[in-house]
Amino acid sequence: MRILLVEDDSMIGDAIVDGLKSEGYAVDWVKDGNSATIALDTTEFSLVILDLGLPGRDGLNVLKDLRRRKNHTPVLITTARDTVSDKIEGLDAGADDYLIKPFDLDELSARIRALLRRSAGRADPIIERGRLTINPTTREVIFNGESVILSSKEYALLFALAERNGIVLSRAQLEEKLYNYDSLIGSNAIEVHIHHLRKKLSDDSIKTVRGVGYVLET
The residues that touch Ca ion, with contacts defined as CB under 5 A, are 8, 51, 53
Nearest-5° Cα angle at 41, 187 to 99? 105
111 Cβ partners below 8 Å, 6+ apart? 76, 97, 99
Nearer to Ca ion, 10 or 218 (CB): 10
**Please, what is the minimum distance in Å from the beta carbon of residue 40 to Ca ion?**
18
Amino acid residing at 31: K
Closest to Ca ion by CB, 54 or 169: 54
Considering all CA atoms of the chain, what is the largest pairwise distance in Å, rounded to the nearest integer?
54
Distance in Å, CB of 58 to Ca ion, minimum:
9
- For Ca ion, give the closer residue by CB, 10 or 202: 10
The CB-of-54 to Ca ion minimum distance in angstroms stands at: 6
Question: In the complex with Ca ion, which residue's Cβ is closer, 52 or 150?
Answer: 52
Closest to Ca ion by CB, 20 vs 161, is 20
Residue 70 Rama label (left phi>0; alpha psi -120 to 50; beta): left
- Find the shortest distance in angstroms from Cβ 9 to Ca ion: 5
In angstroms, what is the minimal distance from the CB of 35 to Ca ion?
A: 14
**CB-nearer residue toward Ca ion: 14 or 146:** 14
Three-state SS string over 95-112 comes to CCEEEECCCCHHHHHHHH
Q: What is the C-alpha to C-alpha distance for residues 5 and 17, in angstroms, rounded to an integer?
A: 8
Kindly calculate the radius of gyration of the chain based on its CA atoms and give it in whole angstroms.
Answer: 18
Question: Rounded to whole angstroms, how far apart are CA atoms 205 and 70?
Answer: 36
- Smallest distance, Ca ion to C-beta of residue 115, A: 21
